[in-house]
């Protein structure tokens, strides 16, 4: 019985860590579409702002305002509109932690 519950909890930990690994992969994929302009993992080498280390809430606000047109933009309306609120949060988490 004890071995069985040990097995179960090991299995649960295994599943949980795989789920978060899948989420990490997913957000890296999302973030890679920002790299062309904002640099790899948000480390910009051109004239555009670096997203790396940017405040999480600031990113969410800007993305929302680009998407609803509150903040005028050249290309960001187009980019921001393609993501769900959840994806924007994942991106903001990712870039703010770089
Ligand atoms: C084609 C180039 C391009 C791509 C790709 C791109 N951006 Fe941008 N980004 C810009 C430009 C240019 C601006 C300045 C606003 C404008 O003119 O659209 C900007 C501004 C921003 C800002 C505001 C920064 C600030 O503090 O004012 C954020 C946040 C941002 N981008 C996030 C992203 C995210 C997240 C992605 C990927 C989902 C992304 N961008 C993809 C070109 C790009």
Write out pLDDT tens, residues 48-79. Answer: 999 999 999 999 999 999 999 999 999 999 99
Half-sphere exposure at residue 41, Cβ-oriented, CA atoms within 13 angstroms: 7
Write out pLDDT tens, residues 78-93. Answer: 999 999 999 999 999 9
Residues with CB under 6 A from ligand 1: 33-34, 36-38, 48-49, 51, 59, 62-63, 73-76, 79, 91
pLDDT at 98 over 80: yes
Q: How far is the CA of 71 from the centre of ligand 1 (A)?
A: 12
Q: How far is the CA of 76 from the centre of ligand 1 (A)?
A: 5
Where residue 24 falls among pLDDT bands split at 50, 70, 90? confident
2, 57, 63 from 80: Cα distances, Å: 51, 15, 5
């Amino acid at each position: 019985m004890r071995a069985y519950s040990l097995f179960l909890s090991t299995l649960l930990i295994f599943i949980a860590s795989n789920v978060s690994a899948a989420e990490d992969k997913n957000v890296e994929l999302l973030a890679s579409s920002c790299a062309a302009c904002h640099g790899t993992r948000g480390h910009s080498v051109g004239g555009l702002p670096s997203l790396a280390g940017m405040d999480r809430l600031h990113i969410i606000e800007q993305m929302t305002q680009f998407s609803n047109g509150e903040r005028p933009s050249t290309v960001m309306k187009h980019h921001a509109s393609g993501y769900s609120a959840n994806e924007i949060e994942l991106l903001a988490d990712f870039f703010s932690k770089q």
